[in-house]
């Protein structure tokens, strides 16, 4: 399992390669800069995305029925599989953010966890998160509203932003209060 620091650095390098220096980060630009094409498809509701990697062919397919923030996160997640050089030719991702599969092997779960960490790091760069939180918290003190404002700024779901803020130790876990 790659360390969080390695994944943060890979995400920063990926943004640099694609010339993505401001938020919201464009995951499509990241995918294109790494040689992947993006297609939208009419998948079953619980299928978020597929990455196919065969030789020089790299295709990310995303569910056109998903919301914009979910499609953005899915593309970032598939970029994670690609850029972290995960094993496999085809990755099929269902409900990417909260994916917990008891039937997958440990190795596959590790790749999924890494891809999710990569996606969060890619779309919510730590330094940007810290500075935006600092700015926004001057005018907004209510936890839920603050997370919503942050989520909008970064083009991610509230849930994804909340995970990121908790993981970075910037807000308390929801278990710590009655939120």
Cβ proximity to Zn ion: between 112 and 162 the closer is 112
Q: Tell me the C-alpha distance between 101 and 117, whole Å.
A: 16
The answer to whether 84 and 115 are in contact (CB under 8 A) is yes
**H and E: helices and strands count for the chain:** 7, 4
Scanning 2-10, 31-39, 84-92, 166-174 for contacts with Zn ion by CB under 5 A, the matching segment is 84-92
CB of 5 to Zn ion, least distance (A): 21
Q: What are phi and psi of 31, to 5 degrees?
A: -60, -45
Cβ proximity to Zn ion: between 66 and 112 the closer is 112
For the CA atoms of 167, 161, 94, 46, the dihedral, rounded to the nearest 10 degrees, stands at 150
93 belongs to the binding site for Zn ion (CB under 5 A)? yes
Cβ proximity to Zn ion: between 33 and 108 the closer is 108
DSSP 38: E
47 belongs to the binding site for Zn ion (CB under 5 A)? no
Q: Give the residue closest to Zn ion by C-beta.
A: 93
The answer to whether 152 and 89 are in contact (CB under 8 A) is no
Scanning 15-23, 93-101, 160-168, 170-178 for contacts with Zn ion by CB under 5 A, the matching segment is 93-101
Scanning 13-21, 105-113, 126-134, 150-158 for contacts with Zn ion by CB under 5 A, the matching segment is 105-113
61 belongs to the binding site for Zn ion (CB under 5 A)? no
Identify any residues that bridge with 62 across adjacent strands, giving them in sequence order. 40, 49
For 63, other C-beta atoms within 10 Å of its C-beta total 22
114 belongs to the binding site for Zn ion (CB under 5 A)? no
122 belongs to the binding site for Zn ion (CB under 5 A)? no
Question: Rule CB under 5 A: which residues touch Zn ion?
Answer: 91, 93, 112, 115
């Amino acid at each position: 399992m790659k360390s969080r620091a390695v994944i943060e650095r890979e995400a920063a390098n990926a943004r640099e390669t694609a010339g993505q220096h401001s938020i919201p980060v464009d995951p499509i630009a990241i995918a294109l800069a790494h040689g992947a094409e993006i297609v939208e498809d009419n998948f079953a509701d619980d299928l978020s995305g597929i990455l196919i990697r065969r030789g020089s062919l790299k295709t990310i397919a995303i569910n056109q029925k998903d919301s914009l923030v979910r499609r953005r996160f899915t593309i970032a997640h598939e970029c994670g599989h690609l850029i972290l050089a995960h094993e496999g030719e085809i990755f099929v991702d269902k409900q990417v953010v909260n994916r917990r599969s008891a039937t997958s092997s440990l190795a596959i779960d590790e790749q999924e966890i890494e891809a999710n960490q990569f996606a969060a790091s890619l779309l919510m760069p730590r330094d940007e998160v810290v500075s935006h939180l600092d700015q926004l918290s001057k005018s907004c003190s209510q936890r839920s509203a603050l997370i919503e404002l942050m989520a909008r700024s970064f083009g991610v779901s509230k849930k994804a932003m909340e995970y990121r803020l908790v993981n970075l130790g910037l807000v308390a876990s929801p278990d710590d209060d009655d939120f």
